[in-house]
Amino acid sequence: MPLTKERFEFVSQLALQRSAIVLKPGKEYLVQSRLDPLAKSGGYESLGVFIDDMRRKGGFGEMHRLVIEALTTNETLFFRDLHPFDAIEKKLIPEIMVRRAKERRIDIWSGASSTGQEAYSVAMLLREKFPELASWKVTIIGTDLSSKAVEKARRGIYSQIEVNRGLPMPLLVKYFEKVDAGWQIRPDLRKMVDFRQMNLIEQWSHLPRFDLVMMRNVLIYFDVSTRKKILDGIQNTLHPEGALLLGASETTLNVADAWQAENCGRTLVYRLKGERGATRTLAN
């Protein structure tokens, strides 16, 4: 049975308020396909009855939380788009290593880390290309709204299909071990990444000041004012000379004017404009 307009509006308002994900009319199929299994597993006779029950209950309980989780798109893969990882290897890490040679520490954030492939890709890259960092304090934090995705990232177990997507065979052999459910990241690499559940539209707490922020393929789900708030938030948590990487179809242009894009091979790296960096340096 197709979703009524009222029920679709209720779900899209809930998604907007709790995750900032925008579901415009036309996305009824997505709501239906993501929420049908939830309604079934909850024993509801239809998705409509399930949504009506949520409306009646009001507030924000477990049921609402599960709905938000189900509406997130967790698509990701190892070394997604390749070029950003070239920029990290050829320019960003060497630059950070010069800048932070005294403290010997690097802080990296994979915002919207989904099931962890992006953060583990960075960890493998550091291990492979920068062995000298073994004596540095390297922190990679992965955060995502979806607690299911965060749990999977922490476990670090991926199916054969998932490891076939983007992961070079030599890295699979070196950094994973075969387990019943597929391939698990070896404990020493898993220890390099700290995964946490965090909603980008709520308070960002306990984050260090980052040298590199990867906020890729998540801004696309938000409206312009939410994108701006998130970019402003990153501005306050990034070293003045730090770097931001966005997804291939995302930009700061016409969203937040504190940023400028710099070509780095075949990818764009976003930096804070000069005077912002200077102001923040003074404030530190």
Ligand X SMILES: C[S@@+](CC[C@H](N)C(=O)[O-])C[C@H]1O[C@@H](n2cnc3c(N)ncnc32)[C@H](O)[C@@H]1O
Report the interface residues with ligand X, using CB under 6 A.
19-21, 72-76, 80, 112, 114, 118, 144-146, 149, 199-201, 216-218, 221, 247
The sign of the torsion formed by the CA atoms of 203, 144, 35, 39 equals: negative
Task: Tell me phi and psi for residue 188, to 5 degrees.
Answer: -65, -30
- Residues 6 or more apart whose CB falls under 8 angstroms from that of 28 comprise 2, 3, 8
- Residues 6 or more apart whose CB falls under 8 angstroms from that of 71 comprise 11, 15, 19, 21, 23, 30, 31, 34, 35
Closest CB 254 distance from ligand X, rounded Å: 21
Closest CB 88 distance from ligand X, rounded Å: 14
Select 72 or 267, whichever has its Cβ closest to ligand X: 72
Per the DSSP assignment, residues forming a β-bridge with 185 are 176
Closest CB 220 distance from ligand X, rounded Å: 8
Select 72 or 235, whichever has its Cβ closest to ligand X: 72
Question: Where are the strands (E) in the chain, listed by range?
Answer: 105-111, 137-144, 157-158, 176-179, 182-185, 193-197, 210-215, 238-246, 259-264, 267-272
Select 160 or 249, whichever has its Cβ closest to ligand X: 249
| 269 Ramachandran zone, left/alpha/beta (phi>0; psi -120 to 50) | beta
Select 118 or 277, whichever has its Cβ closest to ligand X: 118
Closest CB 94 distance from ligand X, rounded Å: 23
- Through-space distance between the first and last CA atoms of the chain, rounded to whole angstroms: 57
Task: Tell me phi and psi for residue 255, to 5 degrees.
Answer: -120, -55
Select 118 or 162, whichever has its Cβ closest to ligand X: 118
Closest CB 120 distance from ligand X, rounded Å: 11
Select 152 or 271, whichever has its Cβ closest to ligand X: 152
Closest CB 70 distance from ligand X, rounded Å: 10
Select 118 or 211, whichever has its Cβ closest to ligand X: 118
Closest CB 231 distance from ligand X, rounded Å: 14
DSSP state of 89: I
